[in-house]
Amino acid sequence: MKLSTGFWQTYKEVPADAEIASHQLMIRTGLIHKAGSGLYNYLPMGLRSIRKVENIIREELDKIGCFEITMSVVTPGELWQETGRWDKMGGLMLRFKDKKDADLCISPTNEEAVTDIFRKTIKSYKQLPVTLYQINTKFRDEIRPRFGLMRGREFTMKDAYSFHLDKASLDVGYQALYDAYTAIFTRLGLEFIPVEADGGAMASSDSKTHEFQVVANSGEDLIIYSAEAKYAANIEKAQTKRAPTTYDMNVVPMKEVETVKTETIEAVCALLGQTAAQSLKSMVYTATTGNESKMILAMMIGDDSVNEIKLQNFLKCDHLAASSEDELKKAKLWKGYIGPFGLEGQLEIIFDNAVNLDASYTIGANKKDAHVMGFNPKRDMKKIIQADLRLSKAGDLTLDGKHTVVEKRGIEVGHVFQLGDKYTKDMKVGVLDQNGKLVTPLMGCYGIGVTRVVAAAIEQNHDANGIIWPKSIAPYDVYFATIVKAEEFAKIADEIYADMKKAGIDVVYDDRNVGPGNKFKDADLLGLPYRVVLGERDFGASGELEIIERKTGTVTKVKRDELISTLKNLLK
């Protein structure tokens, strides 16, 4: 693209709503344009990157025999009703009615649609396994769209769905996709970690789930990680042990203490001169299944937190949420002063496994401005239920106790998930097996946030001057900036541009009538892998052009006839 006639513009201003670097840089470099809240137009430069990401995904999936399809963006409500998700999907799914009053939605995901295609096409085990994928527009009506393409409402996603006769085949298919994802994110030039994740309450115990996380400080996800142990898991899924803890093993009578306006563990510990491990945190949740609700009291060591997914899995409830202030008031519970003693019978009380039942703890006194010291679970509770409820954290040990884990922040860019028979069962899909018996096929699903990948790549690869694109997804390979005035040199520059294009080098030709400072600033901001500079004076004197690597600043000087071979080598 010749910039003098190209459709491209950089901006100095950072929009007020752009909180993270990738969002700011994508707007400033004219990659995207905001169409509305959480809605973006992809401008030529941005679209080129997106297409490169799409093509890498496509190549790797085609390599393992997946079939590309495109499902309608608008899908009929009927289909979602078959699995009950029309009612369960919640507010992220944008529903509306058409002219004939029929229910429609903009697909936030496509399990139902793909299962409908499958059941109309595949009848026999001979046609299995099969994996279908699409790269298409999705819409999720986020309450607070933010971070540009990172959490927009409309976005491009690659979603794949595999169908299998049995779990062994599903495992093989799952591994193939897992490996393809590894190949994809490697080719994309990203630092990523595949982490174990939780499949949710509906997943069977042997169902596998991984997220592919791009490591970045601005990431919204927390990863529990140990390089030595080769362990990585989403914080909600992580299985770790609390590091050795010094409990208070003095068994003394319970004693009420005055704790005026002391509603947090930190404040209580400070007031009483205790460590967090000497007190228990009381967390109240409302668990709902169908129309039934009950309140749950989760008891945690003072500096631990509840892993709500673990709690929900333990309770096997449909829905779990921290009880609201209204609910607490109705149950006559004093926020900040709740404790297990005296609540038996009124609430279901569950102690975390890390709680030493023989130790003494400070707990809430269930009245305002008071706590109880010396609570000993074994002595003071009639019945004790204990379960693994705690959220892993940095400093924990791996399950074998050998390694200490750290926390990393990540951006989820991919997701592989064994769905099992949830959708095929609800949608009554049958396939004949080798013995002529009708069986319910199993499914896997596999997503990549295409537009999010581009944002994550920038989040991970930028500096104060702008983007530093991974080679494989840079909008162009080379930024060719010329500092020439004489007709003669302009003609040479045009020729060199034509030569590069002819050699298959994707090149932006900055032939604008602006100063070198502006050109170099724009080049750094856009951050293509290499900048090539033709300076009239230098080229006139030495016949050399400069190649500057964006990432390292390394300068290579080359004669005109070495330019293309040098670039080709660098771009390999």
Binds its own copies by CB under 8 A, chosen from 59, 63, 81, 127: 127
Q: Does 71 bind its own copies (CB under 8 A)?
A: yes
**Cα distance between residue 469 and residue 471, in whole Å:** 6
Binds its own copies by CB under 8 A, chosen from 116, 196, 477, 511: 116
Q: Which is nearer to its own copies, 6 or 189 (CB)?
A: 6
User: Which tokens go with 270?
Assistant: 């400070």
Write phi, then psi, for 466 (nearest 5 degrees): 150, -160
Q: Does 43 bind its own copies (CB under 8 A)?
A: yes
Q: Does 153 bind its own copies (CB under 8 A)?
A: yes
Q: Does 475 bind its own copies (CB under 8 A)?
A: no
User: Which tokens go with 107?
Assistant: 């697909």
Strand-pair category, 544-549 with 555-559: antiparallel
Q: Does 453 bind its own copies (CB under 8 A)?
A: no
**Cα distance between residue 496 and residue 499, in whole Å:** 5
Binds its own copies by CB under 8 A, chosen from 53, 57, 79, 265: 79
Q: Does 370 bind its own copies (CB under 8 A)?
A: no
**Cα distance between residue 337 and residue 437, in whole Å:** 60
Q: Which is nearer to its own copies, 94 or 571 (CB)?
A: 94
SS3 at position 303: coil
Q: Which is nearer to its own copies, 101 or 325 (CB)?
A: 101
Which segment (1-9, 247-255, 311-319, 418-426) binds its own copies by CB under 8 A? 1-9
Q: Does 502 bind its own copies (CB under 8 A)?
A: no
Which segment (35-43, 247-255, 368-376, 415-423) binds its own copies by CB under 8 A? 35-43
Q: Which is nearer to its own copies, 162 or 207 (CB)?
A: 162
CB of residue 342 to its own copies, shortest distance in Å: 42
Position 228: which residue type?
A: E
Write phi, then psi, for 296 (nearest 5 degrees): -125, 135
Handedness of CA 115, 118, 122, 125 (dihedral sign): negative
> Alpha carbon of 327 to those of 285, 321, 324, 331: distances in Å?
10, 11, 5, 6
Q: Does 102 bind its own copies (CB under 8 A)?
A: yes
Q: Does 29 bind its own copies (CB under 8 A)?
A: no
Pattern 80-99, its own copies, x by CB under 8 A: -----------x--x-x-xx
Q: Does 7 bind its own copies (CB under 8 A)?
A: yes
**Cα distance between residue 199 and residue 5, in whole Å:** 51
Query: Which of 292, 289, 214 lies closest to 456 in space, CA to CA?
Result: 214
Binds its own copies by CB under 8 A, chosen from 14, 19, 47, 432: 47
Angle separating helix axes 450-460 and 21-28, nearest 10 degrees: 100
Which segment (38-46, 226-234, 493-501, 557-565) binds its own copies by CB under 8 A? 38-46
Q: Which is nearer to its own copies, 263 or 506 (CB)?
A: 506
Q: Which is nearer to its own copies, 8 or 231 (CB)?
A: 8
Binds its own copies by CB under 8 A, chosen from 15, 59, 64, 74: 74
Binds its own copies by CB under 8 A, chosen from 83, 137, 239, 245: 137
Q: Does 434 bind its own copies (CB under 8 A)?
A: no
Binds its own copies by CB under 8 A, chosen from 68, 171, 499, 562: 68
CB of residue 100 to its own copies, shortest distance in Å: 8
Q: Which is nearer to its own copies, 204 or 518 (CB)?
A: 518
Q: Which is nearer to its own copies, 122 or 406 (CB)?
A: 122
CB of residue 153 to its own copies, shortest distance in Å: 7
Q: Does 427 bind its own copies (CB under 8 A)?
A: no
Q: Which is nearer to its own copies, 130 or 331 (CB)?
A: 130
Binds its own copies by CB under 8 A, chosen from 76, 189, 194, 516: 76
Q: Which is nearer to its own copies, 130 or 276 (CB)?
A: 130
Q: Which is nearer to its own copies, 69 or 571 (CB)?
A: 69
Cite the DSSP H helix spans in 93-166: 111-121
Q: Cα 545 to the chain's mean position, in Å? A: 42
Q: Does 36 bind its own copies (CB under 8 A)?
A: yes
Question: What CA dihedral angle connects 549, 553, 559 and 562, to 10 degrees?
Answer: -30
Binds its own copies by CB under 8 A, chosen from 14, 17, 19, 73: 73
Strand-pair category, 406-420 with 397-398: unpaired
The count of C-alpha atoms lying within 13 angstroms of the C-alpha of 135, restricted to the half-sphere facing its C-beta, is 18
Cite the DSSP H helix spans in 227-366: 265-272, 308-315, 325-330
The count of C-alpha atoms lying within 13 angstroms of the C-alpha of 191, restricted to the half-sphere facing its C-beta, is 11
**β strands within 140-178, DSSP E:** 154-164
Binds its own copies by CB under 8 A, chosen from 16, 101, 120, 382: 120
Q: Which phi-psi region, left, alpha or beta, contains residue 12 (left: φ > 0; alpha: ψ -120 to 50)?
A: alpha
- Give the strand order in the sheet containing 361-364: 255-258, 370-375, 361-364
Size of the site for its own copies (CB under 8 A): 56
User: DSSP labels for 448-517?
Assistant: EEHHHHHHHHHHHSEETTEE---GGG-S-SEEEEEE--SHHHHHHHHHHHHHHHHTT--EEEE--SS-HH
Binds its own copies by CB under 8 A, chosen from 78, 228, 266, 495: 78
Residues that bind its own copies (CB under 8 A): 4-7, 9, 30, 33, 35-37, 39-44, 47, 50, 65, 67-76, 78-79, 91, 94, 96, 98-100, 102, 104, 106, 113, 116-117, 120-122, 126-127, 130, 132, 137, 139, 141, 143, 153-154
